[in-house]
């Protein structure tokens, strides 16, 4: 098949080239949007990621260009207008569980860093400052952690938390018996959030989960709670979270995802000014740690993504 890969990073090219099962692949060094969709003209499949926008306008352009298949290199699919793709008769395939551990471990990395303030220590030591001022942390051992969503990633995360001796509470409309056997305590969303020292989000973004963490939910939290989001930016109401950081309701915040991330993440703005007041405010808090959607970025995950992506293309091609 003729496959157009929308990707702005070298990793995709390296891993997809390694696992290509014989397709004619073109790497387009742009993200997919209304402005760039025309470059997919003449390709039978587009291979896209979380930052590519597949709204109605883009899908119309791709359909006119003769597109037959959309392959996502990710698990989440909130960036695709699925009902419209179905209407256009364009199948959408994804990579459901390429490495839950990659994202779960990244969530834990954010927790440990914020908890022990190693991001501050790292910068200080590089300046020759070995003082311990304002570096006191708290033990993770015996803390109560709320896991919102116990699918593939949430479950991998619960296992890690149990290893650290945490009390793990969870909310998921479909509780897992494996997690219950592990000692995870399921409750309502409200009860789970209220009891937590740390909250970590692992559910998908859809119309019912948008702004799951909003002003009302934030009011119920334990003062000084830590909030971690490695799932999708739209799960939290950023403005309300900034207010909660200012008032001390949220004691620390770790984000791998951001509400408007398609405009910022994966791009290098080091020579430029970030034109986003909320992101600029968030970065200015010393107790906020933001990474640019790298939870998935391990060698094992990238290999699996590439393998499954070509497996998906082959399966569709052979009917």
Residues that bind ligand NAD (CB under 6 A): 75-76, 97, 100, 103, 148-154, 171-174, 202-205, 208-209, 230-232, 256-257, 293, 295-296
Select 144 or 152, whichever has its Cβ closest to ligand NAD. Answer: 152
Select 209 or 252, whichever has its Cβ closest to ligand NAD. Answer: 209
Structure tokens at 15: 């891993």
Q: Which position among 237, 259, 293, 304 bears the catalytic label?
A: 293
Neighbours of 293 (CB within 10 A): 24
Select 57 or 189, whichever has its Cβ closest to ligand NAD. Answer: 189
Helices and strands (H and E) in the chain: how many:
12, 12
C-beta separation of 232 from 205 below 8 A: yes
The question of whether 232 is a catalytic residue gets the answer: yes
| Cα dihedral 240/242/244/248 (nearest 10) | 180
Q: Which position among 44, 259, 261, 304 bears the catalytic label?
A: 261
Select 22 or 173, whichever has its Cβ closest to ligand NAD. Answer: 173
Q: Which position among 143, 232, 237, 304 bears the catalytic label?
A: 232
Select 40 or 109, whichever has its Cβ closest to ligand NAD. Answer: 109
- Give me the least distance between CB of 298 and ligand NAD, in Å please: 10
The string over 151-179, giving b where at least 16 C-beta atoms fall within 10 Å of a residue's C-beta and e elsewhere, is bbbbbbbbbbbbebebbbbbbbeeebeeb
- Starting at the edge strand that comes first in sequence, how are the strands of the sheet with 69-72 ordered? 24-28, 2-6, 45-48, 69-72, 92-93
- Give me the least distance between CB of 214 and ligand NAD, in Å please: 13
- Give me the least distance between CB of 106 and ligand NAD, in Å please: 7
- Give me the least distance between CB of 128 and ligand NAD, in Å please: 34
Q: Which residues pair with 185 in a beta bridge?
A: 169
Distance of CA 92 to the CA centre of its chain: 19
- Give me the least distance between CB of 13 and ligand NAD, in Å please: 19
Three-state SS letters, 50-103:
CCCCECHHHHHHHHHCCCCEEEECCCCCCCECHHHHHHCCCCEECCCCCCHHHH
Q: How far apart are alpha carbons 133 and 281 in whole angstroms?
A: 24
The question of whether 293 is a catalytic residue gets the answer: yes
The question of whether 87 is a catalytic residue gets the answer: no
Active site residues: 232, 261, 293
């Amino acid at each position: 098949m003729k496959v157009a890969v929308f990707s702005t990073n070298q990793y995709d090219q390296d891993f997809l080239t390694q696992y290509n099962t014989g397709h004619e692949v073109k790497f387009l060094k742009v993200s997919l949007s209304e402005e760039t969709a025309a470059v997919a003209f003449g390709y039978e499949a587009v291979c896209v990621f979380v930052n590519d926008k597949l709204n109605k306008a883009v899908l119309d352009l791709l359909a006119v260009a003769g597109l037959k298949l959309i392959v996502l290199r990710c698990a989440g699919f909130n960036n695709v207008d699925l009902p419209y793709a179905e209407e256009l008769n364009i199948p959408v395939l994804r990579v459901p569980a390429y490495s839950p551990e990659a994202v779960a471990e990244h969530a834990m990395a954010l927790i440990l860093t914020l908890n022990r303030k190693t991001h501050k220590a790292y910068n200080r030591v590089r300046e020759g400052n070995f003082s311990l001022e304002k570096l006191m942390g708290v033990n993770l051992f015996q803390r109560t952690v709320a896991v919102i969503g116990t699918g593939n990633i949430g479950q991998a995360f619960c296992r890690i938390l149990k290893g650290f001796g945490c009390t793990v509470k969870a909310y998921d409309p479909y509780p897992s018996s494996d997690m219950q056997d592990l000692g995870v305590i399921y409750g309502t969303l409200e009860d789970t959030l209220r009891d937590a020292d740390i909250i970590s989000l692992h559910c998908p973004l859809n119309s019912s989960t948008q702004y799951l963490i909003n002003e009302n939910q934030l009011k119920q939290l334990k003062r000084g709670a830590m909030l971690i989001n490695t799932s999708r930016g739209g799960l939290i109401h950023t403005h309300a979270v900034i207010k909660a950081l200012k008032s001390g309701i949220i004691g620390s915040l770790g984000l791998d995802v951001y509400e408007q991330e398609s405009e910022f993440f994966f791009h290098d703005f080091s020579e430029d000014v970030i034109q986003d007041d909320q992101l600029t405010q968030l970065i200015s808090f010393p107790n906020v740690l933001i990474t640019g959607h790298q939870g998935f970025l391990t060698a094992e995950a990238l290999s699996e993504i590439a393998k499954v992506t070509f497996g998906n293309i082959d399966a569709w091609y052979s009917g």
